[in-house]
């Protein structure tokens, strides 16, 4: 997946080596009410994990923020982590989060710094193949987590606590994939 603002085939706004093999995410990392592009490279082979933010791109003046382009956060995550971003504490600023499939554990940061998670909890079955989701499901200004089971069922939490979903619902056919 490459982000670009044209129907002409190209390598996107960002050179391929910066994104591959990174995950692409989006969030408001500086609290200015605009969304910035974020990449996560899970390290591997002894290299550290790296979160990078892209706020300004030559020729695209609409992309700008208070954080300079480049490395945003290091040493938070592993090659086995699924990167997430959200406003976990309701301050209007997107920060990093991780999901570990093997334990169904979530680890969330409230600052743009590496180190231990500010909030950790377990939710959902381990190694289930479910897809983690992030959103403000109840409109209180705080992002929380959820899952899409892959079979049309969603399990959503309204608090960042262990175990049980606050809401579960099914509204798509099993053959459909939700984005």
pLDDT in tens, 50-90: 888 776 655 655 555 666 667 777 778 777 888 999 999 99
For residues 111 and 94, the answer to whether their CB atoms sit within 8 Å is: no
pLDDT at position 172, please? 62
Q: Of 111-115, 120-124, 168-172, 173-177, which one has max mean pLDDT?
A: 120-124
Mean pLDDT of the chain: 78
pLDDT at position 7, please? 42
* Alpha-helical regions (H) of the chain: 16-19
- Look-up: residue for tokens 């929380």? 144
Phi, psi of 19 (to 5 degrees): -95, -30
What is d(CA 41, CA 9) in angstroms, rounded to the nearest whole number?
25
For residues 160 and 106, the answer to whether their CB atoms sit within 8 Å is: yes
Q: Mean pLDDT, to the nearest integer, of 103-132?
A: 90
Q: Which of 12-16, 90-94, 141-145, 166-170 has the lowest mean pLDDT?
A: 12-16
Taking residue 56's Cβ as centre, other Cβ atoms within 10 Å add up to: 14
Please state, for a pLDDT cut of 70, what percent of the chain lies above it: 71
- Look-up: residue for tokens 């997946």? 1
Token digits for 178?
């939700």
pLDDT at position 105, please? 93
pLDDT at position 12, please? 45
């Amino acid at each position: 997946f490459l982000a670009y603002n044209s129907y002409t085939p190209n390598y996107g706004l960002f050179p391929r080596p910066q994104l591959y093999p990174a995950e692409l995410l989006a969030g408001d990392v500086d609290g200015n009410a605009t969304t910035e592009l974020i990449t996560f490279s899970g390290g591997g082979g002894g290299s550290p994990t790296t979160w990078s933010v892209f706020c300004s791109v030559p020729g695209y003046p609409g992309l700008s923020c208070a954080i300079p382009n480049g490395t945003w956060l290091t040493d938070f995550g592993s090659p086995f982590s699924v990167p997430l971003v959200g406003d976990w504490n309701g301050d209007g600023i997107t920060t990093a989060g991780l999901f570990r499939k093997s334990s169904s554990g979530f680890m969330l940061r409230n600052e743009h710094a590496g180190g231990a998670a500010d909030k950790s909890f377990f939710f959902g079955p381990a190694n289930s193949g479910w897809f983690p989701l992030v959103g403000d499901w109840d409109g209180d200004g705080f992002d929380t987590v959820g899952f899409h089971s892959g079979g049309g069922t969603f399990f959503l939490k309204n608090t960042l606590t262990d175990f049980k979903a606050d809401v579960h619902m099914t509204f798509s056919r099993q053959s459909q994939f939700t984005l």
